[in-house]
Amino acid sequence: HYRTLRCGDEETPVDDSRARGKPMELIAGKKFKLPVWEAALRTMRPGERARFRCDAKHVVLYPLVSKSLRNIAAGKDPLEGQRHCCSIVQMHEHYSLGYPDLDELQKNPQPLIFDIEVLKVEPPGSYQQDPWAMTDEEKLQAVPQIHKEGNELYRQGKVPEAAAKYYDAIACLKNLQMKEQPGSPDWIELDQKITPLLLNYCQCKLQCEEYYEVLDHCSSILNKYEDNVKAYFKRGKAHAAVWNVAEAQADFAKVLALDPSLRPVVSKELRSLEARLREKDAEDKIRFKGIFSQ
């Protein structure tokens, strides 16, 4: 965990990882924009704390580091909005970092105090990197293994955990896809790898009853691949769950048109929807009985 404070009598906090509920993960040997942190951590053991002051010239890049760490804590890509150029160029080209306090610190660099506590040290080979921390090659190599781990978790009934794995695999591929021209052969190849992972993710979200997320993702797939039977089927189930009856019936009809062999499965879903509608009508009649005669 870390705290960053402005120098002065009040020591106003700039960042506090505990307040965000997520500690920082630093991979030794990777390029890091604040080498003073890694230098301090290399001499520390789990449970130890260190507090040190750095002159403004040594922390001129801290606003960019802070933005990345804040993005990570929020579950975003830490490099969101950055181009492939040196940090100094980025500082000059970006009018705002998206945080007023960091914008002010970027315009007027000042000494900072860092308070760091080591929670855990993991040996080489035991740490599984987040997708954002991987190289492009590492991302491509990691996807099949992450996919496999997601499938195994799903078979074990650990649906939220499986969804998280599928999400990580999608994030790896999406990050690579962002570097390609939309519609190019490489972009399409990556998209075709993303689609089955996204359908697996949607299956997990169906079981977690997060239906609107399923609707969004399946619709995004069908906007590109109009003959994707699985996307129609999962979207139909999601529509049915949120009482979009006409939309559910239309999606199930599309499933039958694309793959008539799925008629038994579709018929079961339609019967379930009709039964739920009858139950709802009966409940409504009881609920509103006599309301208009009063």
Per-residue model confidence as pLDDT tens digits over 11-41: 899 999 998 877 888 877 666 667 888 888 8
Domain-located, residue 87: no
69 and 8 in a common domain: yes
The pLDDT assigned to 136 comes to 86
Domain ranges, residue 235? 136-292
Give me the amino acid identity at 109.
Answer: P
Q: Which residue has the tokens 């009856």?
A: 245
Instruction: Check whether residue 145 and residue 287 sit in a common domain.
Output: yes
CATH number, domain at 30? 3.10.50.40
Residues 100 and 151 in one domain: no
**pLDDT tens figures, 64-75:** 888 888 887 776
Q: Residues 111-137: pLDDT tens digits?
A: 999 999 999 988 876 666 666 667 888
Is 240 exposed, middle or buried, given 0-12, 13-18 or 19+ CB atoms closer than 10 A? buried
Check whether residue 112 and residue 140 sit in a common domain. no
What is the token pair recorded at 253? 């009809």
DSSP state of 180: S
> What's the mean pLDDT in 209-228?
96
Q: Give yes or no: residues 272 and 165 share one domain.
A: yes
Q: pTM for this one?
A: 0.63
